[in-house]
Amino acid sequence: MTMRLKNIIAIIVFSLLPLAAYSEESAHTTATPESFVQNTSSRVIALLKSRTSDESKQKQLTAMFLQVMDSDWIGKFVLGKHWQTLSDDQKRTYLKNYRKYLIDSYVPKFKQYNDQAIHVKGIKDLGHGQYLVITDIVSSSSQANTKVEYRIQAAGDGYKIHDIVAEGVSLLTTQRSEFSSIMSNEGFDALNDRLLSKDNDNN
Partner 1 sequence: MLIKLMHSTKLILTLAFVLSLPQITHAEIAPLTGLALEGENTSLKPVSKEAAKPVQNTPPKAEYDISNLDATSDEVEQEINDPIEPFNRAIYGFNRGLDHLIIRPAAIIYRDLTPDWGKDRVHSAINNMGEPVTAANAILQVDEQLISDTMGRFITNTVLGFGGLIDVAAEADTELSLKKTDFGLTLKKYGVETGPYLMLPILGPSSFRDAPSLAVDYFLDPFNSELFSNDFIIARTGVIGLDKRYNYLELTDHVEKTSLDEYSTYRSIYFQKR
Residues that bind partner 1 (CB under 8 A): 1-3, 5-10, 73, 76-77, 79-84, 101, 105, 109, 126-130, 141, 143-145, 147, 151, 153, 162-163, 165, 167-170, 172-174, 176-182, 191, 194-195, 198, 201-202
Number of Cβ within 10 Å of residue 125's Cβ equals 10
Smaller CB distance to partner 1: residue 87 or 143? Answer: 143
CA-to-CA separations, 96 to 60, 74, 125, 198, in angstroms, rounded: 20, 12, 32, 14
Residue whose CB is less far from partner 1, 30 or 143? 143
- Ranges of H-type helices in the chain: 8-25, 33-49, 54-68, 71-79, 88-106, 171-185, 188-202
Angle at 184 between CA 181 and CA 186, to 5 degrees: 95
β-strand partners of 118 = 137
Q: At its nearest, how many Å lie between partner 1 and the CB of residue 43?
A: 26
CB of 51 to partner 1, least distance (A): 26
Residue type at position 101: Y
**Min separation Cβ 34 and partner 1, Å:** 19
> Cβ contacts of residue 44 below 8 Å, gap of 6+?
14, 17, 18, 20, 21
CB-wise, 14 or 101, nearer to partner 1? 101
Name which of 40 and 159 has its Cβ closer to partner 1.
159
Q: For residue 13, which amino acid is it?
A: V
| Least CB distance to partner 1 at residue 153 (A) | 6
Report in angstroms how near the CB of residue 143 gets to partner 1 at its nearest. Answer: 6
3-state secondary structure of 140: coil
Nearer to partner 1, 48 or 166 (CB): 166
Q: Toward partner 1, which CB reaches closer, 25 or 73?
A: 73
Q: In the bound complex, what is the minimum distance in angstroms from residue 155's beta carbon to partner 1?
A: 11
Dist. CA 41–CA 142, nearest whole Å: 20
Please list the residues that pair with 119 across neighbouring strands: 136
